[in-house]
Structure 1
């Protein structure tokens, strides 16, 4: 028994220092549980976001997002300048309105005469009228002067016109014809017309026409129109009644297409008609002939422009038969070289 007690006492004395060293100084105290270990301990972490200086403050609610942000908004309708004004009619007892007194319209017809010499002002008004209206002017144009090379003998053609007068009424002269080089003039005519403006774009023309040819001559009455149709088509159309009672007509249409300020392309069409057959003139009834072509001119100056072109001319129906009976050509293609000028 004594040996057992002695061994237990010796074991207790040997264990006492180790127990004393491991004893917790807070043993017996009520301590909160230790926080869990940081799983990122020892890792390289980025800097923490700065602390919001308004954290914990009471902030007003944010403004709603503008649904039109980034849109182009038209300007607001201007305010009515009369808003809030009394726009009611004047009362019945308001004084009546009267015209200006007669003295307000008294005085000279031209107020400037009261400050300047009336004779000098009258001369100035007359000069203004001559320059800006009511004046007399003139124009002469050689529309076509050309050589025609192709089917049949080489030929030439001229087509000229001019006018003299004012804005409304004018004397208009036209002359055209054709022939063969080294031969006779096949056809020529001259027209003297009174031209009256029937609108800003067209003139009504009436007068006389004289034909000069190797065959029988004709004197004819002319009634026609000339002017600028929509889309800038130049139109010249007329009906002719001869002293023999023959009724014929002609229409010409051309258009200037500017390729540049100086280079102009001009298509042109001309047709002739007759109401009856006139064998002595070589004309059948209906459509007697047609010519269609194009010219390309270069304006060295507005008043002078040489050109080249091509044209197809053809006699139709009985007119072609009469030409064959007289051993004449009925038409074909021709190359054109010519000049257009005016002053």
Structure 2
């Protein structure tokens, strides 16, 4: 009976405690709000702020920014310098080459003529100046000279357009010894590696003519080279005191064989067939017929 009383009393005590909201395991535990719990947790973790740089909002030294214009100028100057260096390394450099040639030719009648040529070119791959001087000194006659100054502009692969002036001097004439012509033409490398010069000349007294020069090197060895060549002159109109007949004026088809001692000294021999049309009758000259002849001779060429 005593045991039953103790069991009943314990059951009633547990029921009272449950109704009052208390726990058996943690009788001293109290509920804490969420925000207060987070604050307590953060304060409990030690944090080392010694490596953090604290910037004061009340005492800051202003940092002077680099002007944008100055940066742009530096970039432009750098780009210009790089572009100039690129041009210098890839065809923008100025170069010069001079060729001096002299050849002695004789015809079937044993009459000889000394032909001399000087050509100088200076400039870049795109822009050049050509100076060409030619002289013919035939036996028993005065020498004839002509000189051309041409500006050359590259317009396509292997081709330049040229324009300038030509000066002519012929001491065998009594009048009009000095004449000046305008020149325009092309200079370049035609198909099959034919180096070509083609010019149109326009001068006083309605003088208009065309000239064509083309040639190609064929290597037999590294030093022995043959060069077929063709020179033509065509008169379109001529009302001068020493007028030439219109049409094909002169033609020379030849074969030059040279031996290159080095790239600066090159002796050669030459065999050619020549044609020359006659002149019209004027107050200063008699009419002449056309002439054909074989020419042969030798010469030497210098390049520097």
TM-score greater than 0.5 by the shorter chain: yes
- Tell me, yes or no, if the aligned pair for 1:288 and 1:319 is still in contact at 8 Å: no
Residue 210 (structure 1) aligns with: 167
Question: Among 180, 184, 208, which residue is 2:142 paired with?
Answer: 184
Residue 223 (structure 1) aligns with: 184
- Higher alpha-carbon Rg: 1
- Tell me, yes or no, if the aligned pair for 1:320 and 1:330 is still in contact at 8 Å: no
**Consecutive unaligned residues in structure 2, runs of 5 or more:** 1-70
Residue 97 (structure 2) aligns with: 139
Task: Flag the 1:321–1:246 CA change in 2: closer, same or farther, 3 A.
Answer: closer
C-alpha RMSD of the superposition? 3.0
- TM-score, scaled to structure 1: 0.59
Residue 75 (structure 1) aligns with: none
Q: 2:125 aligned with 1:167, yes or no?
A: yes
Task: Flag the 1:298–1:321 CA change in 2: closer, same or farther, 3 A.
Answer: farther
Residue 149 (structure 1) aligns with: 106
Task: Flag the 1:191–1:236 CA change in 2: closer, same or farther, 3 A.
Answer: same
Task: Flag the 1:281–1:183 CA change in 2: closer, same or farther, 3 A.
Answer: closer
Question: Among 265, 271, 279, which residue is 1:310 paired with?
Answer: 271
For residues 328 and 288 of structure 1, what CA distance do their matches in structure 2 show?
Answer: 11
Q: CA deviation at 1:155?
A: 1.2
- Tell me, yes or no, if the aligned pair for 1:146 and 1:339 is still in contact at 8 Å: yes
Residue 337 (structure 1) aligns with: 298
- Tell me, yes or no, if the aligned pair for 1:278 and 1:284 is still in contact at 8 Å: no
Deviations 1:229-273 (A, max 9, x none): 111011111000003331111001111111111111011111111
Question: Among 279, 288, 291, which residue is 1:319 paired with?
Answer: 279
- TM-score, scaled to structure 2: 0.66
Q: CA deviation at 1:151?
A: 3.1
For residues 253 and 90 of structure 2, what CA distance do their matches in structure 1 show?
Answer: 39
- Tell me, yes or no, if the aligned pair for 1:311 and 1:336 is still in contact at 8 Å: no
For residues 327 and 146 of structure 1, what CA distance do their matches in structure 2 show?
Answer: 27
Task: Flag the 1:204–1:124 CA change in 2: closer, same or farther, 3 A.
Answer: closer
Residue 219 (structure 2) aligns with: 258
Q: CA deviation at 1:328?
A: 9.4
Q: 2:261 aligned with 1:300, yes or no?
A: yes
Task: Flag the 1:337–1:282 CA change in 2: closer, same or farther, 3 A.
Answer: farther
Report 1:1-343 matches (<5 A). 129-142=87-100, 144-152=101-109, 153-181=111-139, 183-185=141-143, 187-214=144-171, 215=173, 216=176, 217-278=178-239, 280-316=241-277, 318-319=278-279, 325=286, 330-343=291-304
For residues 272 and 258 of structure 2, what CA distance do their matches in structure 1 show?
Answer: 15
For residues 290 and 224 of structure 1, what CA distance do their matches in structure 2 show?
Answer: 19
Task: Flag the 1:253–1:126 CA change in 2: closer, same or farther, 3 A.
Answer: closer
Between Structure 1 and Structure 2, which shows a larger proportion of strand residues? 2
- Count how many residue pairs are aligned between Structure 1 and Structure 2: 224
Deviations 1:137-186 (A, max 9, x none): 111112x410112234211001221111111011111111211256520x
Q: CA deviation at 1:277?
A: 4.0
Deviations 1:204-229 (A, max 9, x none): 00000000112222210000001101
- Tell me, yes or no, if the aligned pair for 1:241 and 1:247 is still in contact at 8 Å: yes
Secondary structure in structure 2 of the residue aligned to 1:198: strand
